[in-house]
Amino acid sequence: MADGRAKRIELRVSNHKAYVWDLEDLALLRAQHHICGVLAGTLPHLSQQNIFLGLPLVLMPEEVVFLVQKEIAVLVDDPLAHQPPSTAQLEAWNRDRKAGVKAQIAASEAKEAVGIKAAKSTSEDAIRKRKEREQKRAAAARAKALAEGSQDLFAPPVETLVATDALASTDQPAIPSASLNSSNVAWMVTVPASSSAELEWYSSEGVTYATIEDAQAAGVWLYPSTSFERAKCAVFRDLWEKGHYMGGGIRFGADFLVYPGDPLRYHSHFAASVIESPIASLKPMEIVAHGRLGTATKKAHLLCGWDQAKQEVSYYSIEWAGFG
Amino acid sequence: MESHPSYALLSELTTKYPRTAGSLLQTYNDLKLAQQWEDLEVFEVPSCSRGAFKGQRPNTTAVLYVIPCSLSESLSLSWFRDAFEDMGKPPHIYLAINAEDSNIVYYKLSPGIVKPPV
């Protein structure tokens, strides 16, 4: 069955949000389809910060609707795509997991052994130096005692020497056996980022939706459900067709930020607000608020009106006049 | 209002469109006396039920168009479309937003996606 669907990007939907978990898809979406999304995952090696985030990529609902309608992507019901594994698959996974744990424990113990050896050699030097110091001190004390004619000779610290010698020659503590029940070695469990690539029992077969309507009917996807949401989808699509890249507008009090090219290279020129219909009420105060904010941030505010009857978008750019 | 020196020039439009009389007079006075615009003319914008102005900022030659409104009014994108049509499709129109305390703020409206000046 040679249909384009085989090549469509799988957007994994969980709780009515669409995620991209596969790096190649993320690159394709950005480079070829001008859809950027937002990275939302923490970095395992840098988890206590949120300046740099990683997979998954979260898409705006307008981006999802656009991609599915353009037949670039399909929606996958992610929880259901994680099918129950067969007994054989589960046994294999468990074997791999245990082997991985054993390998981790062995590696960390080998590392510990090297560490102990290094520590031991330093203490050998320290013991020798301590011996020499004590001998010198003892000799000096005896000489002093003889000079003063004292009966109480300072006993040479032979016992201490013997003690330190004894310490130096004791065996290392026995290396604990590599059993999974050892509680003094920590090991990590790996959770794969891409279930589709790494879990044998993941399958999008039968839980993939190629249209928004199908996904909505199945209860997997909800957007758009109001006329305002439909207007936002239409404006997003129109701006995309004109060659713009869009980002979330919340930082600038708008519905979208509109960039002339990839956001990594450009600042946005516009903050866009969507007006539901040509006759929707627009208060002058909104114009003041949008206009002033845009001008203060070196952007213009774009009012994007969707005309459902004519199926077209009309644009007005607002700027503070600079006088008055 | 009738005793104000500016009233005479605007009386035709303030009589015809009483609801926007206040913002029409305020905006005229502001443009003429505070902003010191030159060649200031008033004309009718029937589709928006009000008058509007055209003139030049001091020491410039570009003819600019201003349409007044009150902060308490409700506008719409079709209102903008009608205003641009009636005013002869200028490249941009200034919306003079009048507040009750006689403050006026001017915002520039341009049809289409017009990049802000660098």
Spell out which residues of chain B touch residue A303, defining contact as CB-CB under 8 Å.
Answer: 77
Assess whether pLDDT exceeds 80 at residue B99.
yes
Q: What is the dihedral of CA A266, A271, A275, A279, to 10 degrees?
A: -110
Consecutive H or E run containing B43:
strand B38-45
pLDDT tens digit sequence for A136-164: 998 888 888 887 765 444 444 444 444 44
> Token pair of B97, please?
């937003």
Record: contact B76-A298, CB cut-off 8 A: no
d(CA B84, CA B92): 8
pLDDT tens digit sequence for A99-146: 999 999 998 888 888 888 777 766 777 888 888 888 899 888 888 888
Question: Do B55 and B30 form a contact (C-beta atoms < 8 A)?
Answer: no
d(CA A295, CA B108): 11
Spell out which residues of chain A touch residue B79, defining contact as CB-CB under 8 Å.
Answer: 282
Query: CA Rg, chain A, in Å?
Result: 35
pLDDT, average across residues B77-92: 96
Does the interface ipTM go beyond 0.90? yes
Spell out which residues of chain A touch residue B113, defining contact as CB-CB under 8 Å.
Answer: 242, 258, 270, 302, 315, 317
Which of A177-184's residues contact partners 24+ apart within 8 Å by CB, and which partners? A178/A102, A178/A105, A178/A106, A178/A109, A180/A98, A180/A101, A180/A102, A180/A105, A182/A105
- In this complex, the residue of A283, A298, A319 whose CB is nearest that of residue B74 is A283
Record: contact B97-A287, CB cut-off 8 A: yes
Record: contact B106-A320, CB cut-off 8 A: yes
Distances (CA, A) of A162 to A17, A41, A154, A155, A156: 72, 60, 17, 14, 11
> Closest residue of B to A272, CA-based?
B113
Assess whether pLDDT exceeds 70 at residue A174.
no
**Entry pTM:** 0.80
pLDDT value of position A149 = 65
A299 shares contact with chain B (CB less than 8 Å): yes
DSSP strands (E only) in chain A: 9-14, 17-20, 38-41, 54-58, 73-77, 208-209, 245-248, 256-259, 270-275, 300-307, 312-320
d(CA A278, CA A282): 10
Which residues touch A42 (CB under 8 Å, ≥6 apart)?
A50, A53, A54
Distances (CA, A) of A219 to A13, A53, A63, A213: 11, 30, 19, 10
- In this complex, the residue of B76, B97, B109 whose CB is nearest that of residue A278 is B76
User: What are the beta bridge partners of residue B107?
Assistant: A320, B95
Spell out which residues of chain A touch residue B73, defining contact as CB-CB under 8 Å.
Answer: 283-284
A269 shares contact with chain B (CB less than 8 Å): yes
> Closest residue of A to B112, CA-based?
A315
Record: contact A317-B109, CB cut-off 8 A: yes
> Closest residue of B to A303, CA-based?
B77
d(CA B63, CA B56): 5
Query: Of A21, A15, A41, A34, whose CA–CA distance to A72 is shortest?
Result: A34
pLDDT value of position A129 = 86
According to DSSP, the β-strands at B64-70 and B50-56 are antiparallel
pLDDT value of position A10 = 96
pLDDT, average across residues A243-253: 93
pLDDT value of position A115 = 84
pLDDT value of position A165 = 42
Spell out which residues of chain B touch residue A279, defining contact as CB-CB under 8 Å.
Answer: 76-78
